[in-house]
Amino acid sequence: MKLKDGMIADRAGDDYVAVATGEASKSFNGLIKNNKTADFIFRQLMTDKTEDQLVEALLDKYDVSEENARKDVRKIIEKLMAAGILDE
């Protein structure tokens, strides 16, 4: 799975934000505010990744249990799918 083409992530001060441009803006128009962990997962999804690869990336980056990493990944995937900006 990966984000639709046209999703852009950036940092604005202390905030992590993402917006849709181009093709992605046809299914989503708005601003996404992420925390640091969500931004990390979001950026990982700019290239094709499996859920297991996302969990592994979180485990490599942060001191977190696999259970918590998997919960965070699933929660973010569900939100991105609901917003219509994630291609499977």
8 close to 29: Cβ distance less than 8 angstroms: no
Measured CA to CA in angstroms, residue 48 lies from 13, 35, 45, 83 at distances of: 28, 21, 6, 18
Q: What digits encode the pLDDT tens for the residues 38-58?
A: 999 999 999 999 999 999 999
pLDDT digits (tens, 9 = 90+) for 10-34: 998 999 999 999 888 888 888 999 9
Please tell me the pTM assigned to this model: 0.90
